[in-house]
Amino acid sequence: MDAHPAPGRDDAGSGGETVAAVGEFGLIRAVTADRAQPAGTVLGPGDDAAVVAAPDGRVVVTTDVLVQGVHFRLDWSTPEQVGRKAVAVNLSDIAAMGAVPTSIVVGIGCPADTKSALVTELVDGISAEAARARVGLVGGDMVRADQLVISVTALGDLGGREPVTRSGARPGDVVAVCGRLGWAAAGLAVLGRGFRSPVGVVNAHRYPEPPYAAGPAAAQAGATAMIDVSDGLLADLGHLAEESGVGIDVHTERLDVDRKLVDVGHALGADPLHWVLTGGEDHALAATFPSYTDLPAGWLRIGTVLMPGTGVTVDGEPYEHETGWEHWR
């Protein structure tokens, strides 16, 4: 997982009824009423379990847990933004397998004094991101907890293809990425200094916008390995290299360091290239392809797969700084 802000003062919401006053089932009715479902939802919320179609005969499954003070702060993000983020980080993992996301199940835990409006706004964000990805919010659970916790389980369909795992990269393959890198790390740095702008950079931390369609497109193009960049480009390429038993070299002249990142880096005295190489939470996709492949639209070649024993290098040299995020470290 990802997201790394230090704990700060988060508010359970102000004004309106608490979840304790509304009650579990009243709250469930409030957040599930009139939520549209895609055609793949056979039976949505309201029964003991949901039923979803599995056209491929196989189901891709992933889950992530977001904890208040670890993965988000409500003094930095709105509940709607937190909801969007909770969905995006899961659906990105589905896309990284080369699958099309189909549905999600959501668990929410919160203190009894949490305002019901906060939970409703949270689910509004969950539903908005689900709609962007054309997936159904088909069920879930709500419980009492000491702090706000959101757990999302996402399902996906492979469309008859084999999953693209982390273990298929081979020497001679090219390394490519699709999606933004470094933006969420820059946004976190801005928020950590007490600022709220530039908004585009800050919002990249508040909720990512993964390129969901790029995963299946990469699979169709013959990607040999793929991973969601959640903990940092170098860290996640390290996971891919380890699973594939190869080395990887990243070519910095091929990386897109946006002018906005350069400006923020200058203002904060930080290196924007470091954000691009090590910043997590953008949830871009990184993949390897045979050298003869015409990369799908939106994919950018950034490196080369090498023989085993070289690890992950940057312009042929080991990277001398932290390469990404790791829990409990």
**How many Cβ atoms sit within 10 Å of the Cβ of residue 320?**
7
- Percentages helix, strand, coil for the chain (3-state, rounded to 5) are 30, 25, 45
CA–CA separation, 197 vs 283, rounded Å?
21
Q: Under a CB-based contact definition with an 8 Å cutoff, are residues 13 and 107 in contact?
A: no
The pair phi, psi for residue 18, each rounded to 5°, is -85, 165
Q: Under a CB-based contact definition with an 8 Å cutoff, are residues 94 and 219 in contact?
A: no
Beta strands in 68-224 (DSSP E): 100-110, 136-144, 149-157, 174-178
Question: Binding site residues for Mg(2+), as ranges?
Answer: 48, 62-64, 93, 141, 228, 231
Question: Binding site residues, as ranges?
Answer: 48, 62-64, 71, 93, 140-141, 166, 228, 230-231, 281, 325
100-110 β-sheet, strand order: 60-67, 149-157, 100-110, 136-144
174-178 β-sheet, strand order: 225-229, 284-289, 174-178, 300-306, 247-250, 312-314, 317-318
* Residue 92, CB-side half-sphere exposure with 13 Å CA sphere: 29
DSSP letters along 271-329, please?
A: -HHHHHHH--SS-EEEEEE-TT--PPTT-EEEEEEE-TT--EEETTEE--S--S--TT-
Q: Rg of the chain over CA atoms, in angstroms?
A: 20
Q: Under a CB-based contact definition with an 8 Å cutoff, are residues 280 and 185 in contact?
A: yes
Question: Binding site residues for substrate, as ranges?
Answer: 71, 281, 325
Question: Binding site residues for ATP, as ranges?
Answer: 140-141, 166, 230
